[in-house]
Structure 1
Amino acid sequence: MADWSLPQLLSSLHNDIQTRLKIVRETIQHPGSKGDASEGVWISLLQTYLPERYRANKAFVVDSRGQFSQQMDVVVFDRQYSPFIFKYEGEMIVPAESVYAVFEAKQSADKAMVQYAQEKVASVRRLHHTSLPIPHAGGTYPAKPPLEILGGLLTFESEWTPAFGDSFRNALAADSSDGRLDIGCVASHGHFFYDKPSSDYVFESETKAATAFLFKLISTLQFSGTVPMIDVDAYGQWLAD
């Protein structure tokens, strides 16, 4: 039998992410390039380890009324049931109905960055969602309500001391509506998530933060269900203009 070690595998996964984020922070000086590289580390993690029904990429989100979100650093979206994803000159545009989660990915978390992430997440949640009844062999299922899109923040470290203290909690609690951040990771310290029963944030400090965040995200997505049946004709009406 091969001498595999599950704890070592999980630790190595986190170490790889943390090391790559640290290298980006220390070696890339241009802000734009540094940001792109940081996003790439998180996108690579999600593309590799999320189930195949999900995809992750940098993207804009659009609705059937022609409204666009701000560009999101990381969008987790459906690829099994979504009928179209637009790609143009290196940019990706995803229909609102196919989105499961959106994240802002930056080097460090502070009050301004949390607020910025909240504003960007809100720009996605405010988009219109279509949903059609679903035909099946025995009849028709009613149209599904839109999914609750997860919003989050991904960083290498925190500017606060302590990293997970009241300052971080207060910044997150400043927006409890469209911009609420549900889940996130500070790779050097741990991960956090919004606990609905207590209406409060839970901060988990750990040495394998990226792995713990990944598992928490997958667990949360499992309970999200499947995206609604998109009304393609609602998007097709724009062909007449």
Structure 2
Amino acid sequence: MTDWSLPNILSSLHTDVEHALSIARSSFGHAPTTGAASENVWLTLLKKYLPLRYSAANAHVVDSNGQFSEQIDVVIFDRQYSPFIFHFQHHIIIPAESIYAVFETKQSLTLHELNYAQTKISSVRSLHRTSLPIPTASGEVPPKPLHHILGGILTLESEWSPPLGQTLAKHLAEQDPTRRLDLGCVAAHGIFRLDTKAGIYQITPRKHAATAFLFELIASLQSIATVPMLDVRAYAKWLP
């Protein structure tokens, strides 16, 4: 028997994230630098702990109609079955079919930042996605129905009092499905997630919010299973 403690391991994961976010917030006077540092904290967490079938990056998303999303802080996408990811001058461009989830990262949660995240997420969900029949050893399987792309916001703090109270619940009530937030983390206070079956948000104050968020995200990704098989020829039509 060892002296390892699972509660200590899980709490230290959160402590590392919250500490890094706090340093990013207090150490840089330049807002874009602070934002980039905070974004990198979340990306590092996801790259380190998500299963290897998933990748995470700051990226734009493109569809086969040639439409692009806004730049997204955190894009979680498939790398196992995606036939191509574009890299251009340090920018990453990912086909819409390959996207599992998108998140906006901010220092603190406000109504402005929440609305901004909703707009960014909508720019991804509004893109066209293809889905082809899947060839297997026992025959062709019908195209996979398009999954809902998860969207959310990741912050260190909240400007509301209480941080995760009725004000947050009221502002999360978004009728447009393309702008809906499914999951979020305020690292210093807790997490929220949409219970799709009940149609309500579960807002949970948590001492170790970053770890709780990671587990909720993985569970949500598991429910999506795999991305659809994209139509490569639909993209190839743009070749000059």
- Normalising by structure 2, report the TM-score: 0.98
Could you say what secondary structure the match of 1:178 adopts?
Answer: helix
Question: Which whole-Å CA distance do the structure 2 matches of 1:197 and 1:61 have between them?
Answer: 29
Question: Which whole-Å CA distance do the structure 2 matches of 1:54 and 1:103 have between them?
Answer: 15
Question: Which whole-Å CA distance do the structure 1 matches of 2:167 and 2:197 have between them?
Answer: 22
User: What pairs with 1:133-152 in structure 2 (closer than 5 Å)?
Assistant: 133-152=133-152
Question: Which whole-Å CA distance do the structure 2 matches of 1:132 and 1:177 have between them?
Answer: 24
Could you say what secondary structure the match of 2:103 adopts?
Answer: strand
Could you say what secondary structure the match of 1:25 adopts?
Answer: helix
Read off the aligned partner of 1:130 and give its amino acid letter: T
Question: Which whole-Å CA distance do the structure 1 matches of 2:118 and 2:200 have between them?
Answer: 16
- Superposed displacement of residue 166, structure 1: 1.3
- Normalising by structure 1, report the TM-score: 0.98
User: What pairs with 1:94-109 in structure 2 (closer than 5 Å)?
Assistant: 94-109=94-109
User: What pairs with 1:198-217 in structure 2 (closer than 5 Å)?
Assistant: 198-217=198-217
2:181 corresponding residue in structure 1: 181
Large movers: runs of 4+ above 4 Å: none
Could you say what secondary structure the match of 2:60 adopts?
Answer: strand
Read off the aligned partner of 1:149 and give its amino acid letter: I
Question: Which whole-Å CA distance do the structure 1 matches of 2:76 and 2:174 have between them?
Answer: 24
167-176 or 178-187: which moved more?
167-176
Q: Deviations over 1:42-66 (max 9, x none)?
A: 0000000000000001000000000
Structure 1: segments with no counterpart, 5+ residues? none
1:168 corresponding residue in structure 2: 168
Question: Which whole-Å CA distance do the structure 2 matches of 1:161 and 1:119 have between them?
Answer: 24
2:5 corresponding residue in structure 1: 5
Read off the aligned partner of 2:193 and give its amino acid letter: F
Q: Deviations over 1:204-227 (max 9, x none)?
A: 111100000000000111110100
- Superposed displacement of residue 2, structure 1: 3.3
Read off the aligned partner of 2:7 and give its amino acid letter: P
1:36 corresponding residue in structure 2: 36
**Alpha-carbon distance change, 200 to 176 in structure 1, aligned in 2, over 3 angstroms:** farther
- Establish whether residue 218 from structure 1 lines up as the match of residue 218 from structure 2: yes
Equivalent pairs counted in the alignment come to: 240
Alignment check: 8 A CA contact 1:118 1:175 kept: no
Alignment check: 8 A CA contact 1:132 1:144 kept: yes
124-133 or 1-10: which moved more?
1-10
Read off the aligned partner of 1:18 and give its amino acid letter: E
